[in-house]
Structure 1
Amino acid sequence: MEPNTPLTTEASDRETTRQQRDQPAYFDEQKRKSRVKMAGLMIILLLLVIQTSNQGLSQLTSGQGWASVLYPQMVTQNNILPVINQAGHIDQTTTRHQASLTPQQYIDLIVSHLTRDQKLGQMMMVQFVGANYSEALASMLNQYHVGNILLFSANGNIIDKDQLKSLTQNIRQASSALPPSIALDQEGGTVDRLQQLDGPRPSEAEIGATNSIEYARTIGKQTAADLTSYGINLNLAPVVDVDNDPTSELHQDMRTFGTTSDSVTRMAGAYLQGLQESQQVVGTLKHFPGLGDASVDPHVGLPTITRSKAELENTDWAPYHALIMQGLVHAIMVTHEMIPAIDPNKPSSLSPALVQGILRQEMGFQGVIMTDSLTMAGIAAYYSPDQAAALAIEAGSDIIMGASSPDEVATMLNGIKQALDTGTLQPARIDQSVRRILLMKYQMGLLPIPKQ
């Protein structure tokens, strides 16, 4: 038959008969395929429901949304710990007699896998408004790799027990690279962020008045238990200011252990021992260089302390030096004030002479140094956020506090990046801070060394 020759009538009839005969089979095949597709969709939907029930509805509404349920492996692809742990395992199995990783070796391994943005994110401590995990918080954690979260009841972060536990759980699940520290300034007394949840806890002045080392240690242990129950691992306490001014905010709010450096050292040391005994919570000494004689609150202004260096060493700095020598201190917060005897030009939180010169070199402190909030009037009235952030890191701080939105985080990070790009800051200086921060996280149980 030629290619274009029409079918004869007989052949046409046979073709029509074949099509009619095959038509039911054709539709049956289409129906079968449709049923297979529907069954597949139902299986996917069932798996989705099961996964959702395991993770909780809050995970769906988190920064990762539906991707956290449909593609959990993609959501966690930025989590570097599995990659690092596997790399460490491979390295060690290639050498039969190689010893287990030390904490410092493990931290060095982590740092070697971090990008610059991830490193800088570890140096940020942020706050946020609201009782639930939010888009803004998701952005700070995952876009800017923020490594430290500060909770405040004044920001609406603390409503009830179940809400707080859910919030901290969502924060931990959503962090893309490394586990975050979650902080609270739980001093007791007038600074008792958990009072509506657990009832009142005594102030430092009340603890100090007992002169009981055992009582101070017991309150420290109780505070750690309170914090741990809510997933909080960093306490911005105790206050180790020596109360020397009856007109100061610290005195009036009963926020100090006593009026002598010896009493403050004894009581703060016992409290800190109790707080850190479980190795799940790390305490933070504050407010270096000392607000015990300050008549101005750094929240509203910039105080000036006119004491000589010898007077500061004998009074305000004595608790820091003694507790550092005892090996109890993992973190110190630096406040904003002028100390002309050491640095007549820069406030303490931005002063290399105080942060590096006194804390690092003279006292030998190698733990984490963090600023108090850079948004306080004592700093914000004189420096822009990007300037303050860069100067604080240049001065020697490891963590900068104050940002409360993704835009504010970006502004502070840009100030640090500009200092790096111009050579004012060196990458090695950033690595030093990140190592200290990760060691602190190891000490609070967030970075266990993988088993060999």
Structure 2
Amino acid sequence: MSRSPGGDPRPEQILARMSLAEKVGQLLVCEIYGTDPDRPHPGNLDHFGTAAAARVIEELHLGGVVYFRWTDSFADGPEQLARLSNRLQAAATGSGAGVGLMIATDQEQGPSSRFGRPATPFPGAMPLGAIGDLDAARAAAAVTGRELAAVGITTDLAPDADVNVNPANPVIGVRSFGADPARVAEMVVAQVEGYQQDAGVSACAKHFPGHGDTATDSHTGLPVIDHSQQEWQHTDLPPFEAAVAAEVDMVMTAHIRFPALEPSGEPATLSRAVLTDLLRTRLGFQGVIITDSLEMAGVRQSHSDREVPVMALAAGADLILMPPDPRGARDAIVEAVESGRIDPRQIDAKVLRVLRMKARRGMLDPVPVDPETVRQTVGTPQHLDLAADLARRAITLVHRGRVALPVDLAGRRVHVCGWRPPEHDLVSSLGDALEVAGATPVARVDRADLVVCLTHDVAAGSDQARLVADLARACPAVLTVSVGTPYDLWELPAEVTQLAAYSSAETVPAAVVKVLTDDRPPCGMSPVDLSVWHNHHQVTGHRPNL
């Protein structure tokens, strides 16, 4: 299905009056620092040479900005975040070509979430894959999109359309809906519809042509995908093909080498064969192609920071995300156009795609959001109830072990331990939830008749693996809850009962307790293949009881 440009004449009219500098600015999406765009911030000074974010917008004619926790964007709560968005939009529409901003963030939920509490903490993609309910996936995206829109965020850099078929993948993992290409495709479409049709914000399918089978993190290195073209068509392509058919506003590139698709060795972000020949021509994608962050190591290994943005645009990208040197990127692109290296008509086509997307989503002349009413949308009881329900429904019994479900917690001495996420004390929260349910907390394992241990991406021979083995020797009833990928199953003793929550969201402790005490068995189903566990434990002498 192809998208019609629509009947709004403003994008063409705006393009006709723009200078080259204004056009190039529309193609840049940069992080900005601070919660007050009129107040100097050292991050802006270091990154742009200009201290106030509003002034940066005016000087570079930026087409988009992106919010992060580490840029302090969310530091002062949702009301101030709404004010920040309004003031940045005013700076954009009041200068240059008078075009509103695309204000983006990564709110995939799960580990890739920027907007924290009081925003609703949904468990993420792989938990939704474990539930397998397309309506639930759409509802989660709709709620997330509405909460973003309430604070002036126009674009969610989600959903992740990668098919996670490599258990060692260090960068995708639970960000993926699973390992079944067809099922991932359905989930991606459901979330695109939730974001765009239900919430009115732009969605972005990522990371094309597929980042699901790599053991290297593209933030720190350049992964290589060894799939043949046939394997790519079968495994990696379906979710992106479905997203294009669903008229997703944007597709994000991957900083990966994919020799079967681009034999030169250039990463996909810089490959015309991948971005133009495959995505634009073969798949017929008419929306906006955005690079992944150009600050990542995966795209900076062979070319300078001034050269990479030019190469990405020449390859077919429309938006340049987070160039390490924004002014240098702007100048390099202008020079490439003026020298004839990039055809000015190509720049016009890119800007027009961006302006048309902005017109569809109300970004050309954005209506200010109301800071006084954001909490009528953000983190409402109804939203929190939905998140809690999804966390419960996702939990999967991946191995029965010695602990029979349900568990009668009344008076039972329970020791809680294990992995703690950096954002909150999940172990203490789980202990509190178990105590409320009737358990008696104990500090020593040898005094417990049940041990509950949180695990996260357990590696062979790791401290986590040794801890669980020690627990199993010290207590006959040990239950683990993996709050990362479910592959922990492979590295833990067979006598240990194992649940997979796929998430460390704050909704998980209550969800775990509900599953432990419910007469109904856990209803989640692993969305990734754990069958290799059988072979692994046949070698080690364990016998699974799945």
Alignment partner of 1:409 is 2:320: no
2:354 maps to a residue whose letter is I
1:131 alignment partner, one of 22, 32, 35: 35
Shift of 1:360: 0.6
1:240 maps to a residue whose letter is A
Aligned CA distance change for structure 1 residues 102 and 206 (closer, same or farther; 3 Å): closer
| Residue aligning to 1:260 | 180
Counterpart CA distance in 1 for 2:178 and 2:274 is 24
| Residue aligning to 2:220 | 300
Counterpart CA distance in 2 for 1:155 and 1:447 is 25
Per-residue CA deviations over 1:186-213 (Å, capped at 9, x if unaligned) read 0001112222222411210011111101
1:107 alignment partner, one of 11, 26, 38: 11
| Residue aligning to 1:41 | none
2:234 alignment partner, one of 314, 321, 333: 314
Counterpart CA distance in 1 for 2:104 and 2:290 is 12
State the Cα RMSD in Å. Answer: 1.7
Partners of 2:181 and 2:239 within 8 A in 1: yes
1:373 maps to a residue whose letter is S
Shift of 1:128: 2.1
Partners of 1:273 and 1:328 within 8 A in 2: no
Counterpart CA distance in 2 for 1:312 and 1:120 is 33
1:276 maps to a residue whose letter is Q
Alignment partner of 1:337 is 2:253: no
2:82 alignment partner, one of 161, 165, 185: 165
Counterpart CA distance in 1 for 2:9 and 2:146 is 30
| Residue aligning to 2:114 | 193
1:424 maps to a residue whose letter is R
| Same amino acid, percent of matched pairs | 32
1:222 alignment partner, one of 131, 140, 143: 143
2:64 alignment partner, one of 148, 166, 173: 148
Alignment partner of 1:181 is 2:102: yes
Ranked by relative contact order (alpha carbons within 8 Å, sequence separation 6 or more), the top structure is 2
Per-residue CA deviations over 1:350-401 (Å, capped at 9, x if unaligned) read 0101000100111010100010111111122322111001000000100001
| Residue aligning to 2:358 | 441
Shift of 1:428: 0.2
> SS in structure 2 opposite 1:195?
coil
Partners of 2:255 and 2:268 within 8 A in 1: yes
Aligned CA distance change for structure 1 residues 183 and 136 (closer, same or farther; 3 Å): same
Counterpart CA distance in 2 for 1:165 and 1:104 is 27
> SS in structure 1 opposite 2:211?
coil
Gaps of 5+ in 1: 1-100
2:263 maps to a residue whose letter is P
Gaps of 5+ in 2: 41-50, 367-546
Aligned CA distance change for structure 1 residues 132 and 381 (closer, same or farther; 3 Å): farther
Partners of 1:224 and 1:281 within 8 A in 2: yes
Partners of 1:150 and 1:184 within 8 A in 2: yes
Shift of 1:173: 1.1
> SS in structure 1 opposite 2:108?
coil
Counterpart CA distance in 1 for 2:82 and 2:8 is 31
Per-residue CA deviations over 1:7-52 (Å, capped at 9, x if unaligned) read xxxxxxxxxxxxxxxxxxxxxxxxxxxxxxxxxxxxxxxxxxxxxx
Per-residue CA deviations over 1:420-440 (Å, capped at 9, x if unaligned) read 122110110000000100111
Deviates more, 1:191-200 or 1:278-287: 191-200
Counterpart CA distance in 2 for 1:227 and 1:343 is 36
User: Which structure has the larger Rg?
Assistant: 1
Alignment partner of 1:207 is 2:144: no
Counterpart CA distance in 2 for 1:182 and 1:448 is 13
Counterpart CA distance in 2 for 1:199 and 1:285 is 22
Aligned pair count reads 344
Counterpart CA distance in 2 for 1:199 and 1:264 is 23
> SS in structure 2 opposite 1:417?
helix
